[in-house]
C-alpha cells in the first residue's frame, strides 16, 4: 500500500534543508568545477563593470532543472523527482541607498528598467517581472520597510520557455539577491523555496513548489524526491550506468503566456470537489486531489479506482458541474476557478485526476527502483515512457513535436523518454546508457535537428547530456 507518507525524508537531507544557501569567496568555487560557467561568471563581472563603472559586490546563481518523473502533480500535493542542471540564471549586483533598482540583462534582446523598488508592478508581460516576484516576495515575507537599492546585471544560459524552469530560476535568483542585499538573517533553503513558490504566483501561474525547491535544495550527483506540505526531500541516485540527455523541440512553452497550465489546475480542483461530494465529504474544503486522498484515507492505488467509479469519461460541461455541486455559475467561478480560467465551459475531470494519481504512483515506483542495486535501466525507462503517454493522452500537455521526438529517441537507443516541465513544447529527457550517449546524440542530431534549418542553428544549446548539479549559491567578490 502506497500513501503520501510512505516515503520519509532522510535525516541528513532534513538537516541540509535547515541551512542557508552556501556562500563562496571565488568564481572558481561558485562555478563548481565548470570551466564554461567560470568563463560566464568572469564575463558577467566584466560586463557589469563596463556598464555601471564599478565592480559588482556579489554574484548570485540559481539553476534550472529537469523533472525526471512526476509532471503536473506538485500543485495537487504530490511528490516529484527533479534534478538541477548545470545551466543557471546568475545576477551580479551592488547595493546603494537610493531605493532604486537598475535592472539589465547581458543580452540586448531584453529591455532595461530603472525604477524605485517601492514602485515595482507585476502584470505578467515583461521578463523582469519574474525578478520582481522574487524581490517582492522577500520584502513582504520579512517585512522590509525600506528595501535597499541595487544595480543589477543578469545572465542566463537556461534556454527560455523550454520547460527547464528558467523563469523560476530567475525568481529564486532575485529572492536570494534580495536577501543578501538587505542583510536578511540566514533564511534556510526550505524557507526560501516556500517563499519563492508563493511569490511566483504574482505573475499569474498557479504552480506548485517543485521548481523553487530543487533550485535551492539540489546537490551535485543526486536527484531529489521532493514532497510537500511541508516541503521535505530525500536523495535519489540514478544507476551509475545511466545518463540523462536533454533535447529541446524549440517549441516555446511559456506557461504564463496562456491559460493551459491554469486550466489543468482548475480541472484537478473541480475533479477533487466532485469526487468529494459523491463520497459525502464537505467538498468546499477540498482544493487538491492530495487533500481528497487524505480525507478518504485511501492509498494511491485505491484512488485510481475511485476516479473510475466517481467520474465519467466524457468532458463535464460547466452547467453539469454547477448542477451536481448545487452552486450557481458565479459561485463556481469565485470558489473553484481563477481569473485566467473564467472562460472555461467544459472540464476533463476523469482524465486529469487519472493522470495525477497514476503519475504519483510512478514517482514512488521510480524512487524505489533506484534504491534497488539490481535495477535495470529498462525498468526506469518503462516508467518514463508511461509518464509521457499519460501526459500526452490524459493530461493533454504534450505537442506533436514532443511526441515525434519521443519516438525518434526510442528508435535511437533511449531506454525511456518523456516530456519535462509544463509541456506544450519545450524539452524531452531521455534515459540513455552512458556508453551510448555519443551515438544517441548523433542520431538525434541528424534526424531531428540537422534535418530542420531552424533547429540546426540552435543545436549546440538544444541537445546535451547532463548530470545532477548543485543548488542556488552566493559568491561574495573581493
Active site residues per annotation: 211
256 φψ region: left (φ > 0), alpha (ψ -120 to 50), beta (else)? alpha
Buried b (16+ CB within 10 A) or exposed e, 281-318: bebeebbbbbbbbbbeebebebbbebbeebbeeeebeb
SS3 state of residue 178: helix
What is the Cα–Cα distance from 172 to 216, expressed in whole angstroms? Answer: 8
Task: Return the residue matching grid coordinates 480560467.
Answer: 341
What is the Cα–Cα distance from 86 to 158, expressed in whole angstroms? Answer: 9
What is the Cα–Cα distance from 72 to 420, expressed in whole angstroms? Answer: 10
Is the separation of the CB atoms in 355 and 72 below 8 Å? yes
From the number of C-beta atoms within 10 Å of its C-beta (0-12, 13-18, 19+), residue 100 rates as middle
**Residues 6 or more apart in contact with residue 334 via CB below 8 angstroms:** none
What is the Cα–Cα distance from 229 to 223, expressed in whole angstroms? Answer: 20
Task: Return the residue matching grid coordinates 573581493.
Answer: 478
- For residue 175, give the nearest of 204, 145, 150, 207 by alpha carbon: 150
Amino acid at each position: 500500500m502506497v500513501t503520501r507518507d510512505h516515503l520519509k525524508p532522510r535525516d541528513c537531507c532534513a538537516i541540509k534543508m535547515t541551512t542557508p544557501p552556501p556562500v563562496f569567496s571565488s568564481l572558481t568555487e561558485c562555478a563548481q568545477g565548470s570551466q564554461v560557467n567560470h568563463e560566464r561568471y568572469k564575463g558577467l563581472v566584466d560586463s557589469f563593470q563596463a556598464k555601471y563603472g564599478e565592480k559588482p559586490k556579489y554574484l548570485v546563481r540559481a539553476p534550472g532543472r529537469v523533472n525526471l518523473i512526476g509532471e503536473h502533480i506538485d500543485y495537487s500535493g504530490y511528490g516529484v523527482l527533479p534534478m538541477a542542471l548545470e545551466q543557471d540564471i546568475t545576477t551580479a549586483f551592488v547595493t546603494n541607498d537610493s531605493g532604486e533598482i537598475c535592472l539589465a540583462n547581458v543580452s540586448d534582446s531584453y529591455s532595461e528598467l530603472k525604477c524605485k523598488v517601492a514602485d515595482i508592478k507585476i502584470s505578467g508581460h515583461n521578463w523582469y517581472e519574474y525578478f520582481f516576484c522574487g524581490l517582492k516576495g522577500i520584502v513582504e515575507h520579512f517585512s522590509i520597510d525600506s528595501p535597499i537599492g541595487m544595480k543589477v546585471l543578469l545572465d542566463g544560459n537556461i534556454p527560455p520557455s523550454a520547460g527547464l524552469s528558467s523563469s523560476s530560476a530567475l525568481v529564486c535568483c532575485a529572492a536570494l539577491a534580495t536577501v543578501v542585499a538587505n542583510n536578511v538573517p540566514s533564511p534556510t533553503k526550505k524557507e526560501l523555496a516556500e517563499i519563492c513558490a508563493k511569490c511566483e504566483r504574482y505573475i499569474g501561474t498557479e504552480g506548485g513548489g517543485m521548481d523553487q525547491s530543487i533550485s535551492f535544495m539540489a546537490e551535485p550527483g543526486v536527484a531529489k524526491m521532493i514532497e510537500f506540505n511541508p516541503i521535505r526531500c530525500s536523495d535519489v541516485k540514478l544507476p551509475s550506468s545511466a545518463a540523462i540527455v536533454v533535447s529541446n523541440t524549440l517549441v516555446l512553452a511559456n506557461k504564463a503566456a496562456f491559460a493551459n497550465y491554469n486550466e489543468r489546475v482548475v480541472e484537478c480542483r473541480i475533479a477533487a470537489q466532485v469526487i468529494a461530494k459523491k463520497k459525502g465529504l464537505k467538498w468546499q474544503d477540498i482544493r487538491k486531489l492530495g487533500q481528497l486522498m487524505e480525507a478518504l484515507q485511501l492509498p494511491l492505488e485505491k484512488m485510481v479506482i475511485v476516479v473510475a467509479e466517481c467520474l465519467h469519461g466524457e468532458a463535464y460541461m460547466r452547467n453539469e458541474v454547477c448542477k451536481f455541486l448545487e452552486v450557481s455559475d458565479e459561485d463556481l467561478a469565485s470558489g473553484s476557478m481563477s481569473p485566467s480560467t473564467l472562460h472555461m465551459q467544459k472540464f476533463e475531470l476523469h482524465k486529469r485526476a487519472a493522470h495525477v494519481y497514476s503519475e504519483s504512483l510512478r514517482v514512488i515506483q521510480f524512487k524505489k527502483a533506484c534504491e534497488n542495486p539490481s535495477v535495470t535501466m529498462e525498468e526506469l525507462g518503462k516508467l518514463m515512457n508511461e509518464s509521457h503517454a499519460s501526459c500526452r493522452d490524459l493530461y493533454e500537455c504534450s505537442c506533436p513535436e514532443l511526441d515525434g521526438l519521443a519516438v525518434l529517441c526510442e528508435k535511437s537507443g533511449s531506454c525511456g523518454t518523456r516530456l519535462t516541465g509544463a509541456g506544450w513544447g519545450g524539452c524531452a529527457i531521455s534515459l540513455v546508457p552512458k556508453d551510448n550517449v555519443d551515438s544517441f546524440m548523433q542520431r538525434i542530431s541528424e534526424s531531428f535537428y540537422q534535418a530542420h534549418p531552424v533547429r540546426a542553428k540552435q543545436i549546440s544549446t538544444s541537445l546535451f547530456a547532463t548530470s545532477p548539479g548543485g543548488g542556488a549559491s552566493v559568491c561574495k567578490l573581493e
